[in-house]
Every structure is written in structure tokens, then in C-alpha cells.
A = this chain, B = another copy of it.
Amino acid sequence: MGIQGKNYIGYSLSAEGERTFQSYIPSKDRFLPEDFRCATQSEVSRAMALAENACDEYSSVSASKRADFLIAITEEITALGDELLERAHLETGLAIARLQGERARTINQLTQFAELLREGSWIEASIDTALPDRTPVAKPDIRKMLVPIGPVIIFGSSNFPFTYSVAGVDSGPALAAGNPIIVKAHSAHPGVSDLTAQAVVKAAKRTAMPDGVFSMLYDDGFEVGTALVKHPASKAVGFTGSFKGGMALYKLAQEREEPIAVFAEMGSVNPIVILPGYLKSNAEEFGKTLAASVTLGAGQFCTNPGLVFVTESEGLGVFEDSYQQEIENTASATMLTAGICKNYNKLKQEVFEQANVSELAISEKLSVGENQAQASIARVSGKSFIANPKLHEEVFGPFSLLIVCEDTEELLEAVSHLKGQLTATLMAQDEEISTYPGIVRKLSKISGRFILNGVPTGVEVCPSMHHGGPFPATADARFTSVGRHSILRFVRPQSYQGWPNSLLPNELKDSNPLGIYRLINNVLTRNQV
């Protein structure tokens, strides 16, 4: 039905407010014609009230019906076809092939949650049967499972218009767990958000979900997001973006009368440490691999390798030459927004202006279009890095800093200054790993994902993926935003004591009608009680 530009409040469209904004096309530095209407405070209240009302009904929809809903979303997204891809290409400047991959990942994520719901064991059912004759006191019958928490607020991100947006890594698990969601659409891609919202609404209607299970609101400022986080009915927040943005939401959520969890992914420099043995044997090849990782998607990934540590050892020259050559041969690329491009140029300039920082490589091929980012690699000594905290910070975009340490002792010291990260990567020959236990321990301690001989870009959607990490990479290192365990952000355990079988949820009935794994008297089994 084309882009509506109105707020999606449950099954209704709403355009109460006066304030509007338009889609910006970064590659052309101009705007598309449609107006998107910023939500008013009363629209926020209506969306929240609908969500709160929908909680009871939605939480009692069976897991298999919720799975149908998720699959219906994937079908409706697929049905949007090229219109969705082309709009995303216009609004983000990302290449169509990259967007096709992202759409496939989004559909894969939702499908994985549907499968998780259908299998059912994720609910962590646990049963302890009664011992009425136990002395000195009888043991009651106690059973436990995970239950939904209530309305979840989700902020779309700028860099993944599908995967971290309206029907992405937060929406999928929040809906799968049985919670209504209210999405604040990212203002950098309102058209993609609008089309995706239509897909979600269609899927919800088609599978008879309650009105209010999904709402999406527009705003090109902070008012709507602030009001959503502060609303008493909100029970959790999902966010991916800058440290500043994440911490602002975190503080808002903590200052509520009832504090709520904010799952904020806030940026990471994803350090790579290259040990001498590895450098010696792989200098030329890894220079190329690294350049590809730094420039992938114009460097606009949360797992972009922003700091690379090496020592002055055999192979360094070959590595630097290869890295430099590859970067210089990389074409510039359109960034997501004018603001991101401006900020990229400013921050990288600031790094180049620091003492003892030199330029290793700048991409020389300029692509056609506006808001172009040139990949840029800076170089600094270990000593200067250690002395200057400014150099430890993230520069969002195709930028990376090469830190050349005198020896592995200085390398260890340099690495000891690193804070929490989504990923840390060690490039090493197997036999040299045990030689540097301090470096290994430090990288392990600060990282959510610890990679050996790879690059951090590329986040596999699988159960073993932990996409999260110690603060300040995320607000809560105990939870991942990718993979099946991300659903644990949006549930809480609840015990039922003394309830008869007929009144218990299916997950906890003696007969195990869902055939799920359960912990019965502390033994994991799919048997009946």
C-alpha cells in the first residue's frame, strides 16, 4: 500500500502531530518527498496503553501460534520484494547486495526464533515434586518457567535497516517471548521502517494477534524515545547505537520510579593483537584481510576493528605495505547519514592531529556520490598510544589505528588500557599463545567474543554467538543481542507452588504435552513426571 508516513499504533494509523521529517538520500544529498509524522505524547500514551492491554492476551497465545506470527512476518517482508531493498538502498547508501544479505539474515533470525518456540525447551521448565511426608517440614510441589515481562521498547539503529530495526534482533526475541513491542523508528530510514511495520501489522492480523502487540512511532528528535522509556508500562529497552545515546537511555531508565533494564550496545573498538610469530608468517596476506575487514560496509559495523596492535618485528614492513596498498585501492563509500559522515571526518581528523600519529594509508579511489568516506589508517607508537586516552576511542567508519609497540612487553601494557569490547582478536601461531599468557588473559577478560586468527566483522547468527561484552561495549555483559539466548533479555523466571496439573501451563504439566526438556528433581529429561 506504499509508504504511509503515519504512526502505527496497534492496528491503527495515527497522525495527530504537526511536526514532520523526510527521508534523506545520503548518496545524493537530497530528500525524498514523503512526510513522516513525529508522534505526539498522546500517541505515545495510546501505543503504551494498547501494549499494556495486549499483554495478558498475547502472553497466553501458545508458543506455536507465536511462531506462526514470526514466520508470517518473514513472509510479509519477503513479499515487499525489491521495493524494500531499493528504499533501503536510497535511505542508507548501502549496496543492494549487502542489503539482500541483511534481509536474509533478518528472515533467518526470525525463523530461528520460530523454531525455538516450536521446540519449546528454551522456557527452562523445572519441576520439583512434593515430599508430603518429609520431616521436619513437608516439601511442597514447586515448578518454574520463564514468563514474559511486558511491553518492550525498541530503538531502530542507523546501520542495519533490517537486522537491528523494526523486525530485528530485539523485536524477534521480544515478540517470541510473549511481549508486545513498541518500536521507535530510526529517522535515518523511515521509509524502510514504514514498509517493515506494514509487514509486521499484516502478519499480526493474519495470525490473529491482539491489537497492540506491535506499534511503531516516528520522531527525528529525542522526545518520543524519552517518553517511551519513561512510561510506567515499559518493562525493558533494546538499543544499538552510540555510547552517548545508550547511556542517556540507561540513565533515564534508572531514574524511573521502577528502574528497568536497558540492553544497549554502545560501540567497541574491537582490538586485534598480532603476535610476532604470526606476523612473520602471514604479513602480506593479513594486511589484505585486515583492510577488507576495516572497510566492509564503509566500516559502519559495531565489530569494525578500530585498534590493531603489532610489535616491531620481522614482517612488519611487508604487513604495512600490503595493508596500505589494499586500503589505497579501496573505493570510498557512501556513509549512512550526513551526520555520521561529518562525525567520521571530524573524529579521524582529531586522531591524525594527536602527537606522533602518522598516516599509514588513505583510500584514493573516490566513488560517485555525496557523503563519501575515505578509508583511513593511522599509525602510532605503543608509547604514544599508552600516554593518550584520546587514541583509545572509537572512530565510527572505515578507520583503524595501527599501534606499533617496541616489544611484546610494551604490547601488554598498551593492551592493558583497553576497556570492555564486543570482540577481541588474537592473531597467533598455536605454539606462541602460551608464551604470552598476560595478553591472552587481558583480551579474554575484556571481550564478549574472543577470536583466534580471524577478523571480528561477520556476526554469525547461531546459538554459540555471544554478541555483547563488558561495559562500555554494552550496558549488560550477561546478555547477547544475537542468537537464541537473546530471548533471555525479555523474560523472567516465575515459580508456581502447589498448583494442580489442570491449572498449570502446558510446559509444567506432569504429562509434558509439549515434549520439552525439563529439569525434574534436578535431572534434565524429556520424560513425564
Contact = CB atoms under 8 A, between A and B. Distances in A.
A446 to B, nearest CB: 10
A450 B495 contact: yes
5 contacts: A126-B463, A137-B458, A258-B420, A430-B500, A468-B493
Given A502-B430, A503-B452, A495 B478 contact: no
Nearest to A144: B464
Contact of A495 (B142, B250, B251, B448): B448
Interface stretch (A197-205, A334-342, A392-400, A517-525): A517-525
Most chain B CB inside 10 Å of its own CB: which residue of A139, A149, A460: A460
Contact of A454 (B101, B465, B480, B497): B497
Given A139-B462, A464-B519, 18 more contacts: A128-B464, A139-B460, A142-B449, A142-B464, A258-B419, A258-B472, A430-B503, A449-B495, A452-B497, A453-B498, A463-B522, A465-B495, A466-B495, A468-B492, A477-B492, A478-B488, A480-B493, A484-B522
Most chain B CB inside 10 Å of its own CB: which residue of A433, A468, A494: A494
Interface of A: 56, 101, 121, 126-128, 136-137, 139-140, 142-144, 147, 149, 250-251, 254, 258-259, 261, 419-420, 430, 433, 441, 444, 447-454, 458, 460, 462-466, 468, 470-472, 475-478, 480, 484-485, 488, 491-500, 502-503, 517, 519, 522, 524
Nearest to A258: B471
A144 B466 contact: yes
Contact of A136 (B101, B476, B491): B101
Nearest to A127: B464
B524 A121 contact: yes
A143 B464 contact: yes
A140 B448 contact: no
B451 A494 contact: no
7 A-B pairs with least C-beta separation: A449-B495, A466-B495, A144-B464, A142-B464, A128-B462, A126-B464, A451-B497
Contact of A478 (B454, B460, B492): B492
Contacts of A140: 454, 458, 460
A179 to B, nearest CB: 13
This chain's copy number in the assembly: 2
A469 to B, nearest CB: 9
Given A142-B462, A462-B128, A475 B433 contact: no
Contacts of A142: 449, 460, 462, 464-465
A121 B495 CA distance: 22
B503 A491 contact: no
Contacts of A453: 498
A140 to B, nearest CB: 6
Contacts of A136: 101
A477 to B, nearest CB: 4
Given A463-B519, A464-B128, A519-B463, A494 B449 contact: yes
A441 B56 contact: yes
A43 to B, nearest CB: 26
Contacts of A433: 503
A274 to B, nearest CB: 15
Contacts of A419: 258
A433 B462 CA distance: 42
A522 B460 CA distance: 14
A505 to B, nearest CB: 10
Contacts of A452: 496-500, 503
A489 to B, nearest CB: 8
Contacts of A519: 463-464
A176 to B, nearest CB: 15
A517 B524 CA distance: 9
Nearest to A444: B494
Nearest to A480: B493
Given A462-B142, A493-B468, A259 B475 contact: yes
Contacts of A476: 261
A463 B126 CA distance: 7
A460 B454 CA distance: 48
Contacts of A449: 142, 494-497
Most chain B CB inside 10 Å of its own CB: which residue of A101, A250, A454, A462: A462
Contacts of A420: 258
Nearest to A121: B524
A262 to B, nearest CB: 10
Contacts of A448: 492-495
A330 B254 CA distance: 43
